[in-house]
Amino acid sequence: MGMEKAIVATADRETLIADFQRVRSYTEYLCKPLVTDDYQIQSIVQTSPPKWHIAHVTWFFEAFVLPHFKDDYKPFDPNYNFLFNSYYYTHGDLHPRPRRGLLSRPSVEDVYKYRAYVNEKMLELMESVDEGAWADLAFRVTLGLNHEEQHQELLLMDIKHNFFVNPLKPSYRNDLVLPQGETRAMNWVDRKGGIHSIGHEGCHFGYDNETPRHKVLIHDHRLADRFITNGEYLDFIKAGGYTNPALWLSDGWALIQSEQWQHPLYWEKQGDQWQQFTLGGVRDLNLYEPVCHISFYEADAYARWAGKRLPLEEELETLLEEQSFEDTLAKNDVLHPSPSGQSAQWCGELWAWTASPYSAYPGFTPLAGTMGEYNGKFMSNQMVLKGGACITPVSHARASYRNFFYPEDRWAFTGLRLAEDL
């Protein structure tokens, strides 16, 4: 089933209007703890200022929805089409990504006026468009809302890094209570091989890169039923994991030498005590929590050191199809990975690195037109991650979801799960 059919199958008018209001409100809820100066920071090229995020997800509706249905639509400010385009080159010119933090104007106040203007125009459109145009509108709006949910996760990722580079190490939220508890011994789940199907299919939303559903050959294997913990990763560090070139892929070894990496991002040592920076500020390192903010290279090196490997995308997806995402993710408002306790830990704590490169499924066809730039053009030099994280909106996670990052990236909420052949 194609993605357009999947969206239209459940997109009735009342539901879509409610979803639009919910998603748009949640973005602004995430920004409430920020002061005006926080909206402007861009700590590294990979991040974007919060002000840019909330303008860009608004620009999406103004670029791809409103003028498509209203010939007389007047943009809030024609200059925003250049400022807040991200990477849609077929749509037009765009402001360079590394310079987003230099945009002191428009002001935060102006950006919120922009959001209010577009919200008003979108609600008018959704309430008034005729039935003949509804399917196309529902398709575009649903894509726009899922796009905004992606940026809600990016907002939290980027805010965390923006605050981390500040010597004051400010908290994003002082009311966040970090999870407590311990983690039991790791169990292994044996999985039988054979011909299996992966990819998106059904009446719910899925991105084009999740399609088409297709058959894959999976060999007998086993998966660890929880993530590797901070304590276990600390053992890897103490054993000289960052100084042993035999454990590392060539590019990874060159990277940790040039960047002088010796531990995960957001870890710092104060005397004999390890601490980590969280969205709730600096906290003592909880040895039972899943290790977080590691690159693919670090995850792969740990797996080699442990005598295991990283799971393949298809191995994780077929298992995730058997799980529920409801009790984890950002729904719990913890915004930090939790120890497993006595339970298995499959989804919703951290995005799990896989050993699978991000590439097209057999028969993949990107969306037509400019929206085809959304996923397909990034299918090069990146790795797939599966499962969702503690900052992922609960309505934005599923087994078939294909997250992807470059192997050196680690500001995302990424974790490490082991696998091995049987």
Q: What is the pLDDT of residues 301-316, one digit of tens each?
A: 999 999 999 999 999 9
pLDDT for position 342: 93
Kindly report the backbone phi and psi dihedral angles of residue 282, in degrees, each rounded to the nearest multiple of 5, phi listed first.
-80, 130
In this prediction, residues 74-80 reach a mean pLDDT of: 96
Chain CA centroid to CA 346, Å: 16
pLDDT for position 3: 37
pLDDT for position 97: 87
pLDDT for position 88: 67
Q: What is the largest CA-CA distance in the chain?
A: 67
pLDDT for position 378: 73
- Which helix (H) or strand (E) segment is 270 a member of? strand 267-270
- The tokens for 186 are 């790791």
pLDDT for position 376: 67
Q: Which CATH code, of 3.40.47.10, 3.90.1580.10, 3.40.190.10, 2.60.40.420, is assigned to 188-421?
A: 3.90.1580.10
Closest CA relative to residue 401, chosen from 150, 64, 219, 87 = 150
Residue 298: which residues within 8 A CB-CB, separation 6 or more? Answer: 252, 256, 261, 264, 410, 416
- The tokens for 231 are 């304590």
Cβ pair 405, 380 in contact under 8 A? no
User: Is the pLDDT assigned to residue 6 strictly greater than 70?
Assistant: no
Torsion on CA atoms 73, 75, 81, 83, rounded to nearest 10: -170
| CATH annotation of 3-164 | 1.20.120
pLDDT band at 404 (very low <50, low <70, confident <90, very high): very high
CA–CA distance, 197 with 193 (Å, rounded to integer): 12
pLDDT band at 332 (very low <50, low <70, confident <90, very high): confident
Burial 284-319 (b: 16+ CB within 10 A, else e): ebbbbbbbbbbbbbbbbbbbbbbebebbbbbbbbbb
Kindly report the backbone phi and psi dihedral angles of residue 182, in degrees, each rounded to the nearest multiple of 5, phi listed first.
-120, 180
pLDDT for position 2: 36
User: Is the pLDDT assigned to residue 5 strictly greater than 60?
Assistant: no
* Residues 211-268 pLDDT 10s: 999 999 999 999 999 999 999 999 999 999 999 999 999 999 999 999 999 999 999 9
* Residues 170-223 pLDDT 10s: 999 999 988 889 999 999 999 999 999 999 988 889 999 999 999 999 999 999
Weakest mean pLDDT among 3-7, 52-56, 66-70, 119-123 = 3-7
Burial 363-377 (b: 16+ CB within 10 A, else e): ebebbeeebebbbee
Which percentage of the chain shows pLDDT scores above 70?
A: 94
pLDDT for position 93: 84
Mean pLDDT of the chain: 92
pLDDT for position 274: 97
User: Is the pLDDT assigned to residue 369 strictly greater than 70?
Assistant: no
In this prediction, residues 74-100 reach a mean pLDDT of: 85
pLDDT for position 257: 98
Weakest mean pLDDT among 10-14, 277-281, 287-291 = 10-14
All CATH 3.90.1580.10 domain ranges in the chain, comma separated:
188-421
Weakest mean pLDDT among 43-47, 265-269, 392-396, 407-411 = 392-396
All CATH 1.20.120 domain ranges in the chain, comma separated:
3-164
pLDDT for position 89: 57
